[in-house]
Structure 1
Amino acid sequence: MIARAMLGLALIAGALASPVAAAPAPPAASAALRPALDALQALDTRVQSVGWKLAAGNARWCARPVPAIGLQLFDAASFGDPGAVRAALALPGDIAVEAVADGSPAGSAGLSPHLPVSAIAGKPTEPAGAPPLRSAYARLVALHDAIDAALVATNSVTLAVGSGAATRTVTITGQPVCASRFEMLTEDNHAAADGTRVVVSRKLVEFLPADDELAALLAHELAHNILGHRARLDASGRSWGNILATEREADRLSVWLLAAAGYDPEAALRFMARWGPANDNGIFSTPDHDRWKTRIERMTREIAALRTAVAADPAHEVNWPRDFARG
């Protein structure tokens, strides 16, 4: 089960733990928040950039690619003291850019972290007289949904960015990607996929300093979405055997997704060798996942099959819809 994702916007302990209605933080206190906010933003950028490379690099092979721009938004209301956060980042309102994926249309359009976003597709991000927030996460989901809806309708989206006299409107054209949003959790220590999202905990992102190993983790979860595993389990039931079958399939497809995106597929082996020894519960492991050494053996065989298929392909392409054997 996926815990409620905060799109990387955590309740940072200490200064940000005060209620929303708290008095404005003094300048020194707000300034002290900046390093923590910058560290969080850097991790979010890693997740978005690696996720983008996987989703864009495999778009030609996904059955139903969607247009995207590689943008993740920020909502100061996600924090215990939004005023302190706005002051720390010099924001006129709650909504701004959190992360821009490397090589994405959002980056090419000149968007950058902490740039205020006041309108999406002509509609204010913080409309006057709006009812009280049900949750900041729900608002972020709605804003990302608005971006996606505009992209699906016209393959482009307009954003009003900046503040005051420096406000400008940018129109960004979408690029096809495999359909999945990438989000960073700020609690727990896991990664998961729900059919439309891939979420990964901050602890795991920090545990994986190499981007190719982070890509291996995200590729496994993206494989679940591409292969429709949630719908399959909804239909067949979540027995240990059924879950194990989907986990094995995701492990195997992940190496193809890595290779198609330009990553070394053996990063999946390095990730498992790093993660497995600290997370394998031995005889107490549940039977819905193989032991980590078994998973490495299976992925090693899959990498050999991948390389054989690529060598035989006239264009030496990683054509996993043709060459990957499901089951």
Structure 2
Amino acid sequence: MVRLRRLCKLVAAVALTLIGPPSVAAEDYRPVFETLRAADTRLQTLGERLAVAAAPWCRTVQPALGIAIHGPDQYLGDARAAAIAHFGFTSPIGVAGIVPGGAAARAGVRADDSIGSIGYRSTATLAPLPSDTKATAPLAAFDRFAATLPPSAPLRLVLERSGATLSATLAPVAMCRARFEQRDSDAVEASADGILVQISAGLMNELDDDGVAVLLAHELAHNVLEHRRRLDSAGVRRGLLSGIGRNAGLFKQTEVEADILSVHILAKAGYDPALAGRFWRTFGPKRAGGLRSATHPGWRDRAATMAAEAGRVAEAGRLDTLLAARERPADGDWQAILVRAR
């Protein structure tokens, strides 16, 4: 996420300004930077918990490092120099926060360490793709390389900490191939593209951890079920045409499938399987209109479908049936798998 708009909003909230002379003193950014750090760490902690739980159902996995990463390229304008000083960046990748109990925490990695190398590669030599967003390109390149490493093998990081170089050997576990990112938007937005899972800052600020987990589990379920590939194979039209005719049916099918599998992901991660249904009965009346109603079933039916699925979590063969959808072309028959609200 580019840090400029979010920085402006947060700085304004503490009666500071980023516009015009004199420049904001580095120390005045501190509460803003710490707010961003907390959000990054929260998102990575919740996302990694779900991605580790779902790993047995994913056909592509990666090491769960237990690190929320960020980099100096995300901080624009006067904020960049202040961020480099505050976070101690000495490489393109820094540790924003540590997932409690995760691989990095167990290996002694700390927030504000800079990552000089991962495995056998210097972070300075990790090349971005032309499609990467400029501000987050180093993060995406780091994530892509990490995903090529054995998911459960010891992994060495070379770190810079307060002018000293040290190493840490992580003992990661497998997680679904996924990268979690907060989108700099106040809109009601969450999405997945097969790897990247995004949720808007507005939703992160509005929801408690359980609510964020419900939305992340749904987006992660899209990736587990390989919906982008299946929609592309079905010739779906996106953009303005996504909610019209056959396109709408195809999208709704994937939304219902993701709702159903999300209940199992939540349960596997240690949440109450009834959480998703309860969440939608509260969230739906207030905010569901922001989630593209033309391509999503109504919130009442979504809540009913997830509530019904909570009773099937322990059903023998249920997961095999759900995951088998990956082998079938999307046909748009979403009503056959939807439970109608009474």
Q: Contact conserved, 2:93 with 2:115, CA < 8 A, in 1?
A: yes
Query: Is 1:242 aligned to residue 246 of structure 2?
Result: no
Query: Where does 1:1-327 land on structure 2 (aligned, <5 Å)?
Result: 5-6=1-2, 11-13=6-8, 29-80=25-76, 81-92=79-90, 95-126=93-124, 135-151=134-150, 155-163=153-161, 166-189=164-187, 190-209=189-208, 211-236=209-234, 237-238=236-237, 239-281=247-289, 286-307=293-314, 309=315, 320-321=319-320
CA 1:82–1:289: 2 relative to 1, 3 Å: same
- Percent sequence identity is 32
Select between 184-193 and 90-99 the one with higher mean Cα deviation: 90-99
* CA distance in structure 1 between the aligned counterparts of 2:292 and 2:112, rounded to whole angstroms: 43
CA 1:218–1:275: 2 relative to 1, 3 Å: same
The one-letter code matched in structure 1 to 2:294 is P
Alpha carbon RMSD of aligned pairs, Å?
3.1
* CA distance in structure 2 between the aligned counterparts of 1:150 and 1:273, rounded to whole angstroms: 41
The one-letter code matched in structure 1 to 2:195 is T
* CA distance in structure 1 between the aligned counterparts of 2:17 and 2:172, rounded to whole angstroms: 35
Q: Contact conserved, 1:158 with 1:171, CA < 8 A, in 2?
A: yes
Q: Deviations over 1:178-198 (max 9, x none)?
A: 222211112252110101121
CA 1:278–1:134: 2 relative to 1, 3 Å: closer
Give the count of matched residue pairs: 301
CA 1:67–1:84: 2 relative to 1, 3 Å: closer
Q: Deviations over 1:13-56 (max 9, x none)?
A: 1678579xx99x67xx1111111111111111111111111111
CA 1:295–1:262: 2 relative to 1, 3 Å: same
Q: Contact conserved, 1:212 with 1:264, CA < 8 A, in 2?
A: no
Q: TM-score, normalised on structure 1?
A: 0.81
Q: Deviations over 1:220-248 (max 9, x none)?
A: 00110000111111011140000001001
Q: Deviations over 1:138-186 (max 9, x none)?
A: 122112223233446x934322213365320112233111222211112
Q: Contact conserved, 2:91 with 2:123, CA < 8 A, in 1?
A: no
SS at match of 2:306: helix
SS at match of 1:162: strand
Q: Contact conserved, 1:150 with 1:156, CA < 8 A, in 2?
A: no
Structure 2 segments unaligned to the other structure (5+ residues): 126-131, 238-246, 326-336, 338-342
* CA distance in structure 1 between the aligned counterparts of 2:145 and 2:196, rounded to whole angstroms: 16
Please state how far the C-alpha of 1:103 moved relative to its aligned partner.
2.6
* CA distance in structure 1 between the aligned counterparts of 2:220 and 2:105, rounded to whole angstroms: 23
SS at match of 1:306: coil
* CA distance in structure 1 between the aligned counterparts of 2:289 and 2:161, rounded to whole angstroms: 52
SS at match of 2:309: helix
The one-letter code matched in structure 2 to 1:257 is I
Q: Contact conserved, 1:68 with 1:151, CA < 8 A, in 2?
A: no
* CA distance in structure 1 between the aligned counterparts of 2:280 and 2:228, rounded to whole angstroms: 23
* CA distance in structure 1 between the aligned counterparts of 2:184 and 2:53, rounded to whole angstroms: 27
CA 1:70–1:163: 2 relative to 1, 3 Å: closer
* CA distance in structure 2 between the aligned counterparts of 1:117 and 1:208, rounded to whole angstroms: 31
Please state how far the C-alpha of 1:285 moved relative to its aligned partner.
6.6
Q: Contact conserved, 1:241 with 1:287, CA < 8 A, in 2?
A: no
